[in-house]
Chain A
Amino acid sequence: MDDLQQEFILETRETLELMTAELIAWEAHPDHGSRLDTIFRFFHTVKGSAGFLALPRFEALAHEAENILALLRETKKPISSALVTAILALVDRISGLTNALEQDVEFHEDDDSHLVAQLQNAWAAMDHDAPTEHKADDAGGTEQKTETQSEAIGIAGQQNVARTIRMSLTLLDNMMNGVSDMVLARNEVARHIRDTDSDPALDLAFERLSACIADLRESVGRTRMQKLEGVFAPLPRIVRDLGQELGKDVALECQGNEVELDREMIEMIRDPLTHIIRNSVDHGVESTQERIRAGKAQQATIAIHARQSGNHIVISIRDDGAGIDVDRLVAKAIAANVCTASEAASMTERQKLNLVFATGLSTSDSVSSISGRGVGMDVVRSNIDRIGGSIALQSKSGEGLNITIRVPLTLTVISCLMFSSGGQQFAIPQSAIREITMASGDTVQMRQLGDQHFASIRGQHLPVVGLADLLGLSEVDDDALEDDDPVLMVIDAGAGIHYILAVDHVMDQEDLVVRAGAPAIMASGIYAGTTLPDHGRPLLLIDPNGVAAQAGVSSADQSLLDMNVPANDTAIEDSEDLAMLIFQDCQNDVRALPLSVIERVEDFGIEKIGHSGGKMRLTHDEKAIPLYGLKAVPDAASIKVIKLFDGNTAIYYAINDIVDMHRINRKASLQPVGNVHEDSAISGVFIRDGQQIELIDPHWIFSQFDQDVHRNNDATKPICLLQAADDGWTRQMLAPLVAKAGYDVRYDLREGEEATICIASEDTQNTSPASGAIIALRDKPTNHNNGNSVYRYDRIGLLGALQSHSAPRRAGESS
């Protein structure tokens, strides 16, 4: 019996949420036959189950609602909003009763009669006010037809629903922990394998195990995903109730119900989203009279769209209200001492708009019961910042406001940068880092003002926070900033707080599973949590915002510093500067390519794109040329194609759209990623507006092309001799890379052959045959012998060395 009751509670609660949305949609479009059916069916089900489980109050309430709905269905009267309110009240009561039933307590009110009376009054009022507003009788016939049709669709739809089961969250968390344990155990095995003589068979088996574990980890991660539907479901009700209270007619449009997000993340965005919607209805949307005066549609629209973009979810909330009155906002900011009048005068439009996020500022003139109590957009922003997300505004005066929120897919796995400071390791969320540079770099000047260190990077002055000093880790060496060469991380802590965190060394980037630390640790405010990276020693995750607070860096003295100021003329033009084209590729990911290799971007009609010979090809100049970046013929009339040119060969790369041009400092901003294990097309990652963008390795694309063209043409390739060929690493890791770089890989030479290049390890290079150039490899990243050796995982360096030797041959063989 208990099981049955539990089932009833869960089912009722689930349908209740959907029901609220249905009712409100129905109110907006009262003729919709299938909606009325759904609502009717819900009450009918509740009535049936409640009768079976002997729950008389549920039964009675459902019975009343069912009666009225049945009458409504018969008479085909348009529904009044009073009736919807009355039915919503019934829904609320059923919801309350369900909660009470679950917790096994008495419901605080034991009389439902006034609800029933409200319902009957609403019905009676409709009966009088709208006498026999029958649609023409023939219309009734067609309506009957659509009803049966939609019912048929409904049944077919139900059969296609993927089968699911309910499962306890504890079990899921246990699974997640189990997988984390497994990953750690895997790492330990990996360490042992590295230490012993490698056996290719074991390596292969281990690779497979690693791949399986990675897959499993991803699947288990996915079990934590929930649909956004749960967050969106209460919003129509909020909009409706608020709209009625304020006398505004507002329609809410939700798209992207099915987008999935980690369930912890769902909880974190629920409040900010609700707040934004309330704000929109209260301040954004004008009253009906004002809208008519402005020549707008009488009904205002708030549209929420959610979509997944890479490993982020983008939620945009757009209203067609009055937008933000920037002048009034600035006036308020000056009045509230957020900024001075002269500062305001020099602000860009965007900076002015961002004043909305300043603490203690509200755009509404009067404090209403709904919003505008000072708990405003600053809280929304800090909530979103806390989960590593970002929020952006676009306002058009008189036309509306568009708010875009980006949040990472999951809260538990955060992309972190690991670094050391004061002899201890820490991690920091990658999303907070704008730029990494060395204090000794050409573009940086360190200054001291009183006790505070400052650094100017390309004309921007930012306070420097020495983490070791802040944490009391460097008591001996007090002025570490001046003596050593610290690594400077430009941090965007959100809410307009920018500063530089000085640390000793930056180590590695890793996706880490972050958990909240013990309350006593979190109380310090400096840490965002604890994590366990692959090396198995716990790490503390630094909270960029907390560090700013602890170090006394506030947004007040630098809210005017715009991090996006382009390098000014006095700054030395760095030869490491890299100009890039940022684009959205055909998988909708935003990526970049160096501008130097791009010849032009062209539009091609879709009829010129085809799939032949196992590849996407572009018909151009009567030839079928391989087209990269595309998996299938897209569903569009034409497509943009980037033409890459290396001086000899042209390559075509399909994209969705161009986003922007951007210039970064290769040394400071580009983080190399990936390793030689993977056939990676990405040469690095950089951060632009808080978004990670992958830089595509053009060399990789050209090497792919090279394979296509020269696959059966080994004779023309230069020969590369690999020494220590019995070592598994050489055959499995090095050989494919060398082959891809356009060489004929040999482990020994035939009579009369000469190797163009020879690759040997650092300590055996002296014994190599004297023919051709030699590339020496070393095992450690640091170069102890000061020789000309290349670190064996320095893919760029290795490819560079290979390329420099093959270049003359290349130029000669091109057609």
Chain B
Amino acid sequence: MNTLYLRVCLNGRDVVFPAAKVESVVNVDQSVAVPNVEPYIAGLFAMRSKVLTLIDCQWFITGQKAAIKKSSMAVVVDVGGHVYALLVDAVRDIFDTDANIKELPSSPGAGWETLGSTILEENGEALLIIEPENLINVHQDIAA
């Protein structure tokens, strides 16, 4: 059975989101900072009448905060009834594949491990599957 994936670029690498978990892809132009919260919260921004929480994916990988530019792209997901926008470098395409999901063959590096634990092999390329929940329900782990 074929599954749809959204292919995006994150910190210079291509990764995929399961399309079923993605609500939409948006351009983030204007965001409002949220002071005094976990560093991976990049701010708030409004999409129609909804207030979305921006998540800085890059922070998990590099520990550096991403700069929000006028053309920043974000993947919109709904986790636990709240809508989040995950900042990515670029959105590549959407494709469907019947390739099998595999466990990570080896560690992709500390930061990447937080983002996902499975990969997809597409045309000889190994793509990390991002699990949006991992980027959102992190505060317990960090606090611990």
Contact = CB atoms under 8 A, between A and B. Distances in A.
Interface string B44-68: 1110111101000000000000000
Given A530-B44, A537-B30, A540-B34, A520 B136 contact: yes
A521 B50 contact: no
A517 B36 CA distance: 14
Interface residues of A, number: 32
Nearest to A550: B36
Interface in B123-137: 136-137
A471 B36 contact: yes
Nearest to B43: A538
Residue from the set A183, A473, A517 with the largest chain B CB neighbour count within 10 Å? A517
Interface string A536-553: 111110000000001000
A518 B35 contact: no
B30 A526 contact: no
Contacts of A45: none
A596 to B, nearest CB: 45
Contact of B49 (A177, A473, A520, A521): A177
Interface residues of B, number: 25
A538 B47 CA distance: 10
Contact of A518 (B32, B48, B82): B82
Interface string B1-43: 0000000000000000000000000000010111111101100
A272 B80 CA distance: 27
A131 to B, nearest CB: 62
B1 to A, nearest CB: 29
A424 B35 contact: yes
B41 A520 contact: yes
Contact of A532 (B30, B36, B41, B49): B49
A550 B37 CA distance: 13
Contacts of A425: 32
Interface string A506-523: 000000000111111101
Given A523-B139, A540-B32, A540-B34, A517 B50 contact: no
B82 A519 contact: yes
A550 B137 CA distance: 23
Interface string A175-202: 0010011011000000000000000000
A472 interface: yes
A524 interface: yes
Nearest to A180: B49
Nearest to A529: B51
Contact of A517 (B48, B53, B137, B138): B53
Interface in B52-102: 53, 80, 82, 84
A149 B74 CA distance: 69
A183 B41 CA distance: 28
B35 A520 contact: no
Nearest to B79: A518
A531 interface: yes
Contact of B51 (A183, A515, A523): A515
B48 A531 contact: no
Contacts of B36: 470-472, 524, 526, 550
Given A184-B48, A515-B51, A538-B51, A520 B139 contact: yes
B34 A521 contact: yes
Residue from the set A472, A473, A518, A531 with the largest chain B CB neighbour count within 10 Å? A518
B6 to A, nearest CB: 21
B51 A532 contact: yes
A530 B49 CA distance: 12
A493 to B, nearest CB: 17
Nearest to A471: B35
Interface of B: 30, 32-38, 40-41, 44-46, 48-51, 53, 80, 82, 84, 136-139
What 7 A-B pairs are tightest by C-beta distance, nearest first? A471-B35, A180-B49, A518-B53, A538-B44, A181-B49, A530-B51, A538-B51
17 contacts: A183-B49, A422-B35, A471-B35, A517-B53, A518-B84, A519-B139, A520-B37, A520-B40, A520-B138, A521-B34, A521-B53, A523-B37, A527-B34, A530-B44, A532-B49, A538-B44, A540-B44
Interface of A: 177, 180-181, 183-184, 422, 424-425, 470-473, 515-521, 523-524, 526-527, 530-532, 536-540, 550
